[in-house]
Amino acid sequence: MQFSARILGAALGVVLAAGTATAEEDKAIQAAIKARQSLMQLYAYNLGVLGAMAKGEIDYNATGAQAAADNLVAVNGLKMGAVWLPESDNFSAKNTRALPELWENGPDVAAKAKDLRESLVAMQAAAGTGADPMKAALGDVGKSCGACHKAYRQP
């Protein structure tokens, strides 16, 4: 019984140590999480427009496709790296699926971010030129999104 109590005490100690962020820090972390999820939503919305054209759910139109592609590049260009705060992974914070590994693999994350940027710039060049080039570019964007999600987002 005493042994169990000691184990329980140790376990609680770990939990409490993990929970030492101040209310102010928690607020900043939650604001950052909300902001990066908003970035993801804006990617999703514009990819949704292109995806609907690719699947024929809506007619391809060059102006709309170009606008969506321009938006993707603009969202990617926002200077919002600060939303990836330390201690804002899904082990340390609530309301996120970002794995701690994202903070532990800087060079791989940077390489995947570069792939994403390149696939979006290629989409921006292709989107207004026709449905087929847009579809091909969309495949590459999907791959670069998926590579990062697979490695660094909780399924």
- Per CB under 8 A, 147 contacts a second copy: no
Q: Total binding residues for a second copy by CB under 8 A?
A: 25
- Per CB under 8 A, 75 contacts a second copy: yes
- Per CB under 8 A, 121 contacts a second copy: no
The single residue among 6, 12, 18, 38 that binds a second copy, judged by CB under 8 A, is 38
Residue indicated by tokens 């949704």: 48
153 bridge partner residues: 98
- Per CB under 8 A, 91 contacts a second copy: no
Contact, 96 vs 121, CB < 8 A?
no
Write the CA distances from 108 to 76, 150, 151, integer angstroms.
18, 13, 10
The single residue among 47, 53, 71, 126 that binds a second copy, judged by CB under 8 A, is 71
- Per CB under 8 A, 80 contacts a second copy: yes
Q: How far is the CB of 140 from a second copy (least distance, A)?
A: 22
Assigned token pair, 81: 């790296």
Write the CA distances from 95 to 30, 31, 34, 139, 147, integer angstroms.
8, 11, 8, 29, 22
Interacting residues toward a second copy by CB under 8 A? 31-32, 34-35, 37-39, 41-42, 45-46, 48-49, 67-68, 70-71, 74-75, 77-80, 82-83
